[in-house]
Amino acid sequence: MRKNLIKELKQLTPEEKLTVTEILWDSLKEEDVPISETQLNIIREREEEYKAGKSTLYTWDEVKSNKTAK
């Protein structure tokens, strides 16, 4: 990777860094992000727990407000 680019990225504000991160993440295809067998098993287990009614889903706003309440 180009050293100048990395140097410039490090000088960005936190908001700018998040924007760049979001742009880069969105540019990836599903097959570009490897998932290990262990991670895949965890996803399957959680899906089964959800289907069986053994887990609760939260909105992102609920997660954020819960985090700040602690």
DSSP state of 59: -
Cβ atoms of residues 45 and 52 within 8 Å: no
Confidence of residue 69 (pLDDT cuts 50, 70, 90): low
What is residue 2's predicted lDDT score, i.e. its pLDDT? Answer: 87
CA distances from 9 to 22, 28, 59 (A): 14, 19, 31
Domain count, the chain: 1
More confident residue, 66 or 43: 43
Residues with Cβ within 8 Å of 46's Cβ and at least 6 positions away in sequence, in order, are: 55
Cβ atoms of 21 and 28 closer than 8 Å = no
Residue range of the domain that includes 20: 3-69
